[in-house]
Amino acid sequence: MLRPISAICSILILFSCASGSPTHLSVLENETPLLPLIALLPPGKTLETLSTSRSKSKVKGILLHHTKGLSPEEYISKSANSGWLVHYLVDKKGRLYGLENAGSVLIKAAPKMDNHVLHLAWEGDKEDILKRPIQRKALVSAIQKISKEFNVPLSNSDVSSFSGIFTHTQGKKKFGAFLNGSDCGNENVLRSILEESKGSFFSEMEWKDRYGDWVLRKERPFVGQNGEIKEPSYDKGRGVTPTPKTELESVERTMDGLLPEEKRLRYNYRGMISADCVVLHFTAINDYDGTILVLEKRNLAATFLADKDGKIYQLLDSPLHMAAAATGTNRNCFQIEIVGKDTEMLLANPAQTAGVVKLVKELSEKYNIPLNNKKVESLKGVFSHTQAKKKWGGSIFLDAQDFDPGEPYMKKVLELAGGTFNEEKDWFERTQGDWVLLFTEFQP
């Protein structure tokens, strides 16, 4: 789909699990009471079933969460019932809940980061803690203590090192393994904490290697030899290379059998594909020409573009040229963009759907591509861009509801093409495998 453009100390914390009575931090500040987090666990859930042990020396950082507006009881209950937990939680009144000897407890809250961080949540949503001085003071105090105890840098620069203080949002953008792309931890809250603690806050574009290997990526602009931003340049396509003949019956052509020159895309050659699969997208843009402009501006490419009237245009000089449209699939798949703002628009256009079905069938027959969407990691089949994004990420935007081009549309196309559609719950190892976007009811 196209879009136009982070406990408290794990110092010696002693408390009575049976009585649930508060105790005190015994090393850094013996006036701060610590309430037992396990007292918030729902019936039938224990710390033993939600955690394993680890060496304290593995702790490098703090990951900051918020409760998305839920009360501490609701938040911990939902977390535990889904197999998650946090090490510490600061409620609206500034009360601190925590686990005993938290640095030695490994829990699940952010896969890919859990081994190296302590999870600290605050009650609330977005940045409303900034309006509650008592809670904010307690959170700042907690972070300062854990940072001192574990030598955690007061910086959010390098999340890939795990060393620092980060929001869960930053962790999600780097590593994936999340339920949805919504804010969690809040950068403005972290900014406030780091500024008061005399640390270093970095905005998103200042994060180390932000144009590098991130699940939710930032697209690198066209740059010159000295790194200066410049106008895009291309080595293939409209007005650059000779107009080729079409090889497919489903694709529009001139009387001479050539691709319509004005419909072609200017792009940069990235190699050839192995032609094993097809990925369908919707443009999220309502017209053909606007789609071409966005693709060119972002240095992206699709193999084909299905216009609203049902006509299919080949954008690249050869259908076997590699497109740049869906991370994890570009080297293997034909990429078909479908003009439309959303799934409903696509479903309401039978002529366009017929054109897409005809193309999918032809590609399937010509290149022996299975007409099913069971196992995206096999790179053999016909898949939605969302399925690929949920597996590998690579998008600038990704949300649990971000179906592209929409699973109802995938069902329609596959079944009209004589294939088999699999619902998300039936995708191969959907709840067990290594997916960027998790299949779970709740995540801290």
Question: Are both 172 and 107 inside the same structural domain?
Answer: yes
Q: What is the CATH number of the domain that holds 108?
A: 3.40.80.10
Q: Note whether residue 439 is domain-resident.
A: no
Q: Note whether residue 436 is domain-resident.
A: no
Q: Note whether residue 25 is domain-resident.
A: no
In the sheet that 381-384 helps form, which strands lie side by side, from edge to edge? 312-314, 304-306, 333-338, 277-282, 381-384
Question: Are both 240 and 174 inside the same structural domain?
Answer: no
Question: Are both 122 and 256 inside the same structural domain?
Answer: no
Q: Note whether residue 229 is domain-resident.
A: no
Question: Are both 255 and 167 inside the same structural domain?
Answer: no
First to last CA, the chain: 28
Digit-by-digit pLDDT tens for the chain (444 residues) are 665 544 433 333 333 333 344 444 433 444 568 999 999 999 999 999 999 999 999 999 999 999 999 999 999 999 999 999 999 999 999 999 999 999 999 999 999 999 999 999 999 999 999 999 999 999 999 999 999 999 999 999 999 999 999 999 999 999 999 998 889 999 999 999 999 999 999 999 999 999 999 999 888 877 776 777 788 899 999 999 999 999 999 999 999 999 999 999 999 999 999 999 999 999 999 999 999 999 999 999 999 999 999 999 999 999 999 999 999 999 999 999 999 999 999 999 999 999 999 999 999 999 999 999 999 999 999 999 999 999 999 887 777 677 899 999 999 999 999 999 999 999 999 998 899 999 999 999
- Tell me which residue range forms the domain holding 283: 236-426
Domain tally, the chain? 2
Q: Note whether residue 245 is domain-resident.
A: yes
Question: Are both 356 and 250 inside the same structural domain?
Answer: yes
| The predicted structure's pLDDT at residue 395 | 83
